[in-house]
Structure 1
Protein backbone atom coordinates (compact mmCIF):
# COMPACT_ATOMS: atom_id res chain seq x y z
CA UNK A 1 0.00 0.00 0.00
CA UNK A 2 1.26 3.48 -0.87
CA UNK A 3 1.42 6.00 1.92
CA UNK A 4 1.84 9.57 0.77
CA UNK A 5 3.11 11.91 3.41
CA UNK A 6 1.45 15.23 2.61
CA UNK A 7 3.07 18.40 3.90
CA UNK A 8 -0.18 19.86 5.21
CA UNK A 9 1.29 23.27 6.08
CA UNK A 10 2.80 23.85 2.63
CA UNK A 11 -0.26 22.47 0.86
CA UNK A 12 -2.51 24.86 2.81
CA UNK A 13 -0.16 27.71 1.91
CA UNK A 14 -0.40 26.82 -1.79
CA UNK A 15 -4.20 26.71 -1.62
CA UNK A 16 -4.27 30.04 0.23
CA UNK A 17 -2.00 31.70 -2.34
CA UNK A 18 -4.14 30.46 -5.23
CA UNK A 19 -7.41 31.56 -3.65
CA UNK A 20 -5.88 34.96 -2.82
CA UNK A 21 -5.40 35.44 -6.59
CA UNK A 22 -9.09 34.81 -7.35
CA UNK A 23 -10.06 38.44 -7.98
CA UNK A 24 -6.94 39.10 -10.03
CA UNK A 25 -7.77 36.08 -12.20
CA UNK A 26 -11.39 37.23 -12.47
CA UNK A 27 -10.16 40.64 -13.63
CA UNK A 28 -7.86 39.11 -16.24
CA UNK A 29 -10.75 37.05 -17.67
CA UNK A 30 -13.29 39.87 -17.67
CA UNK A 31 -10.98 42.69 -18.67
CA UNK A 32 -11.91 44.12 -22.05
CA UNK A 33 -8.41 45.48 -22.44
CA UNK A 34 -6.78 42.04 -22.23
CA UNK A 35 -7.46 41.35 -25.91
CA UNK A 36 -7.63 44.05 -28.54
CA UNK A 37 -8.36 44.03 -32.21
CA UNK A 38 -5.31 44.64 -34.35
CA UNK A 39 -4.78 48.19 -35.55
CA UNK A 40 -3.53 48.84 -39.03
CA UNK A 41 -1.19 51.58 -40.13
CA UNK A 42 0.92 52.29 -43.20
CA UNK A 43 4.00 53.00 -41.13
CA UNK A 44 6.25 49.98 -40.77
CA UNK A 45 6.63 48.56 -37.28
CA UNK A 46 9.94 47.31 -36.00
CA UNK A 47 10.14 43.54 -35.88
CA UNK A 48 9.54 42.13 -32.45
CA UNK A 49 10.09 38.50 -31.57
CA UNK A 50 7.46 38.45 -28.81
CA UNK A 51 3.78 38.52 -29.60
CA UNK A 52 2.03 40.44 -26.83
CA UNK A 53 -1.44 39.68 -28.18
CA UNK A 54 -0.68 35.97 -28.11
CA UNK A 55 0.72 36.25 -24.57
CA UNK A 56 -2.42 38.06 -23.41
CA UNK A 57 -4.63 35.42 -25.01
CA UNK A 58 -2.70 32.62 -23.29
CA UNK A 59 -2.80 34.46 -19.96
CA UNK A 60 -6.58 34.92 -20.31
CA UNK A 61 -7.12 31.24 -21.16
CA UNK A 62 -4.96 30.12 -18.23
CA UNK A 63 -6.85 32.44 -15.88
CA UNK A 64 -10.20 31.13 -17.16
CA UNK A 65 -9.09 27.52 -16.66
CA UNK A 66 -7.85 28.27 -13.13
CA UNK A 67 -11.19 29.89 -12.24
CA UNK A 68 -13.00 26.82 -13.57
CA UNK A 69 -10.72 24.57 -11.49
CA UNK A 70 -11.47 26.67 -8.40
CA UNK A 71 -15.24 26.43 -8.99
CA UNK A 72 -15.12 22.68 -9.58
CA UNK A 73 -12.95 22.12 -6.52
CA UNK A 74 -15.22 24.19 -4.27
CA UNK A 75 -18.21 22.16 -5.44
CA UNK A 76 -16.47 18.97 -4.25
CA UNK A 77 -15.83 20.19 -0.69
CA UNK A 78 -18.04 19.71 2.32
CA UNK A 79 -20.69 22.40 2.62
CA UNK A 80 -19.15 24.22 5.61
CA UNK A 81 -15.65 24.21 4.06
CA UNK A 82 -16.92 25.37 0.70
CA UNK A 83 -18.96 28.20 2.22
CA UNK A 84 -16.08 29.25 4.46
CA UNK A 85 -13.65 29.50 1.55
CA UNK A 86 -16.18 31.31 -0.63
CA UNK A 87 -16.84 33.89 2.08
CA UNK A 88 -13.14 34.27 2.89
CA UNK A 89 -11.73 34.49 -0.63
CA UNK A 90 -14.46 34.83 -3.26
CA UNK A 91 -16.69 37.42 -1.64
CA UNK A 92 -16.73 40.72 -3.55
CA UNK A 93 -16.59 42.63 -0.28
CA UNK A 94 -13.67 41.68 1.91
CA UNK A 95 -15.40 40.15 4.91
CA UNK A 96 -13.80 40.09 8.33
CA UNK A 97 -13.42 36.88 10.29
CA UNK A 98 -16.15 38.01 12.68
CA UNK A 99 -18.56 38.63 9.76
CA UNK A 100 -17.80 35.19 8.34
CA UNK A 101 -18.28 33.61 11.77
CA UNK A 102 -21.63 35.39 12.14
CA UNK A 103 -22.69 34.26 8.66
CA UNK A 104 -21.76 30.64 9.35
CA UNK A 105 -22.89 30.65 12.98
CA UNK A 106 -19.51 29.54 14.35
CA UNK A 107 -16.91 30.89 16.76
CA UNK A 108 -13.51 32.25 15.75
CA UNK A 109 -11.71 29.14 17.06
CA UNK A 110 -14.03 26.86 15.06
CA UNK A 111 -13.43 29.14 12.05
CA UNK A 112 -9.65 28.69 12.32
CA UNK A 113 -10.05 24.91 12.66
CA UNK A 114 -12.37 24.68 9.66
CA UNK A 115 -10.22 27.02 7.57
CA UNK A 116 -7.16 24.79 8.04
CA UNK A 117 -9.25 21.76 7.15
CA UNK A 118 -10.90 23.54 4.20
CA UNK A 119 -7.60 24.68 2.67
CA UNK A 120 -6.16 21.16 2.92
CA UNK A 121 -9.33 19.64 1.48
CA UNK A 122 -9.16 22.21 -1.35
CA UNK A 123 -5.52 21.34 -2.09
CA UNK A 124 -6.33 17.61 -2.14
CA UNK A 125 -9.34 18.09 -4.44
CA UNK A 126 -7.77 20.58 -6.87
CA UNK A 127 -7.54 18.97 -10.37
CA UNK A 128 -3.94 20.03 -10.94
CA UNK A 129 -0.99 18.73 -8.92
CA UNK A 130 0.18 22.28 -8.21
CA UNK A 131 -1.26 22.59 -4.71
CA UNK A 132 -0.53 19.31 -3.00
CA UNK A 133 3.00 19.24 -1.55
CA UNK A 134 4.55 16.02 -0.29
CA UNK A 135 7.24 15.66 2.37
CA UNK A 136 10.60 14.49 1.16
Structure 2
Protein backbone atom coordinates (compact mmCIF):
# COMPACT_ATOMS: atom_id res chain seq x y z
CA UNK A 1 0.00 0.00 0.00
CA UNK A 2 1.25 3.47 -0.89
CA UNK A 3 1.30 6.10 1.79
CA UNK A 4 1.42 9.65 0.54
CA UNK A 5 2.18 12.11 3.29
CA UNK A 6 0.48 15.22 1.93
CA UNK A 7 1.30 18.59 3.45
CA UNK A 8 -2.32 19.70 3.62
CA UNK A 9 -1.66 23.29 4.67
CA UNK A 10 0.84 23.96 1.88
CA UNK A 11 -1.39 22.21 -0.65
CA UNK A 12 -4.32 24.41 0.38
CA UNK A 13 -2.12 27.50 0.12
CA UNK A 14 -1.08 26.52 -3.41
CA UNK A 15 -4.72 26.02 -4.44
CA UNK A 16 -5.70 29.34 -2.86
CA UNK A 17 -2.84 31.13 -4.64
CA UNK A 18 -3.85 29.70 -8.02
CA UNK A 19 -7.56 30.37 -7.61
CA UNK A 20 -6.89 33.97 -6.51
CA UNK A 21 -5.21 34.49 -9.90
CA UNK A 22 -8.20 33.09 -11.82
CA UNK A 23 -9.33 36.40 -13.33
CA UNK A 24 -5.80 37.43 -14.31
CA UNK A 25 -5.33 34.06 -16.02
CA UNK A 26 -8.73 34.40 -17.70
CA UNK A 27 -7.78 37.80 -19.10
CA UNK A 28 -4.46 36.47 -20.41
CA UNK A 29 -6.21 33.47 -21.97
CA UNK A 30 -8.57 35.77 -23.82
CA UNK A 31 -5.85 38.10 -25.04
CA UNK A 32 -4.95 36.28 -28.26
CA UNK A 33 -6.48 39.21 -30.14
CA UNK A 34 -3.69 41.38 -28.73
CA UNK A 35 -1.11 39.51 -30.78
CA UNK A 36 0.28 41.83 -33.43
CA UNK A 37 1.79 41.14 -36.78
CA UNK A 38 5.19 42.67 -37.47
CA UNK A 39 5.07 46.10 -39.11
CA UNK A 40 7.47 46.86 -41.93
CA UNK A 41 8.28 50.55 -42.28
CA UNK A 42 11.72 50.15 -43.92
CA UNK A 43 13.35 52.24 -41.21
CA UNK A 44 16.49 50.95 -39.50
CA UNK A 45 15.64 49.23 -36.28
CA UNK A 46 17.53 47.56 -33.50
CA UNK A 47 16.51 43.97 -32.97
CA UNK A 48 16.22 42.15 -29.71
CA UNK A 49 16.89 38.46 -29.43
CA UNK A 50 13.51 37.74 -27.89
CA UNK A 51 10.28 37.37 -29.80
CA UNK A 52 7.58 39.17 -27.82
CA UNK A 53 4.79 37.95 -30.10
CA UNK A 54 5.89 34.36 -29.55
CA UNK A 55 6.17 34.88 -25.78
CA UNK A 56 2.69 36.38 -25.68
CA UNK A 57 1.30 33.45 -27.67
CA UNK A 58 2.94 30.96 -25.29
CA UNK A 59 1.56 32.81 -22.24
CA UNK A 60 -1.91 32.77 -23.82
CA UNK A 61 -1.71 29.01 -24.41
CA UNK A 62 -0.43 28.41 -20.87
CA UNK A 63 -3.31 30.47 -19.47
CA UNK A 64 -5.86 28.52 -21.51
CA UNK A 65 -4.36 25.25 -20.28
CA UNK A 66 -4.53 26.48 -16.68
CA UNK A 67 -8.22 27.39 -17.09
CA UNK A 68 -8.88 23.93 -18.51
CA UNK A 69 -7.08 22.32 -15.56
CA UNK A 70 -9.12 24.44 -13.12
CA UNK A 71 -12.34 23.27 -14.80
CA UNK A 72 -11.22 19.63 -14.63
CA UNK A 73 -10.30 19.89 -10.94
CA UNK A 74 -13.57 21.64 -10.07
CA UNK A 75 -15.60 19.00 -11.90
CA UNK A 76 -14.17 16.32 -9.59
CA UNK A 77 -15.21 18.04 -6.35
CA UNK A 78 -18.33 17.41 -4.32
CA UNK A 79 -21.16 19.76 -5.32
CA UNK A 80 -21.01 21.92 -2.19
CA UNK A 81 -17.21 22.28 -2.35
CA UNK A 82 -17.29 23.06 -6.08
CA UNK A 83 -19.97 25.72 -5.61
CA UNK A 84 -18.15 27.20 -2.62
CA UNK A 85 -14.91 27.61 -4.59
CA UNK A 86 -16.72 28.97 -7.63
CA UNK A 87 -18.51 31.59 -5.53
CA UNK A 88 -15.40 32.44 -3.50
CA UNK A 89 -12.90 32.71 -6.37
CA UNK A 90 -14.58 32.55 -9.78
CA UNK A 91 -17.51 34.95 -9.35
CA UNK A 92 -17.28 38.18 -11.33
CA UNK A 93 -18.13 40.18 -8.21
CA UNK A 94 -16.69 39.83 -4.73
CA UNK A 95 -19.17 37.74 -2.75
CA UNK A 96 -19.17 37.90 1.03
CA UNK A 97 -18.88 34.85 3.23
CA UNK A 98 -22.36 35.61 4.60
CA UNK A 99 -23.82 35.64 1.08
CA UNK A 100 -22.07 32.37 0.13
CA UNK A 101 -23.24 30.73 3.37
CA UNK A 102 -26.80 31.82 2.63
CA UNK A 103 -26.67 30.47 -0.92
CA UNK A 104 -25.21 27.14 0.18
CA UNK A 105 -27.34 26.86 3.32
CA UNK A 106 -24.36 26.48 5.66
CA UNK A 107 -23.11 28.26 8.79
CA UNK A 108 -19.97 30.41 8.98
CA UNK A 109 -18.08 27.72 10.91
CA UNK A 110 -19.21 25.12 8.41
CA UNK A 111 -18.02 27.43 5.61
CA UNK A 112 -14.48 27.43 6.99
CA UNK A 113 -14.49 23.64 7.27
CA UNK A 114 -15.85 23.21 3.74
CA UNK A 115 -13.38 25.72 2.31
CA UNK A 116 -10.41 23.89 3.87
CA UNK A 117 -11.73 20.59 2.52
CA UNK A 118 -12.52 22.10 -0.89
CA UNK A 119 -9.05 23.59 -1.35
CA UNK A 120 -7.43 20.27 -0.46
CA UNK A 121 -9.77 18.35 -2.80
CA UNK A 122 -8.96 20.88 -5.52
CA UNK A 123 -5.20 20.35 -5.01
CA UNK A 124 -5.66 16.59 -5.21
CA UNK A 125 -7.81 16.84 -8.35
CA UNK A 126 -5.71 19.38 -10.26
CA UNK A 127 -4.29 17.47 -13.25
CA UNK A 128 -0.91 19.20 -13.34
CA UNK A 129 1.89 19.12 -10.79
CA UNK A 130 2.54 21.93 -8.38
CA UNK A 131 -0.54 22.16 -6.20
CA UNK A 132 -0.26 18.96 -4.21
CA UNK A 133 2.69 19.28 -1.83
CA UNK A 134 4.16 16.27 -0.05
CA UNK A 135 5.97 16.35 3.29
CA UNK A 136 9.68 15.74 3.21
CA UNK A 137 10.95 12.96 5.45
Length-normalised TM-score, structure 1: 0.96
Structure 1 ranges of 4+ moved more than 3 A: none
Worse overlay, 39-48 or 99-108: 39-48
Q: 2:35·2:57 contact (CA, 8 Å) conserved in 1?
A: yes
| SS of residue paired to 1:42 | coil
Q: Which runs of 5+ in 1 are unaligned?
A: none
Q: 1:32 deviation in Å?
A: 5.6
Asked whether the 8 Å contact 1:34–1:60 carries over to 2, the reply is no
For these two proteins, the number of residue pairs brought into alignment is: 136
Partners in 2 of 1:48 and 1:66 — Cα distance?
29
Contact 2:29 2:60 in 1 (8 A): yes
Post-superposition shift, 1:21?
0.5
Number of the residue aligned with 2:26 = 26
TM alignment of 1:1-136, pairs within 5 A: 1-31=1-31, 34-136=34-136
1:9-49 per-residue CA deviation (whole Å, 9 max, x = no partner) reads: 00000000000010000111123664122222111221211
Contact 2:11–2:131 (CA<8 Å) still a contact in 1? yes
Q: Secondary structure at the match of 2:59?
A: helix
2:116 and 2:34 mapped to 1: Cα distance? 35
Quote the Cα distance in structure 1 between the aligned partners of 2:52 and 2:16: 30
SS at match of 1:26: helix
- Output the aligned Cα RMSD: 1.1
Comparing 94-103 with 25-34, greater Cα deviation is found at 25-34
For structure 2, the 5+ residue unaligned runs are none
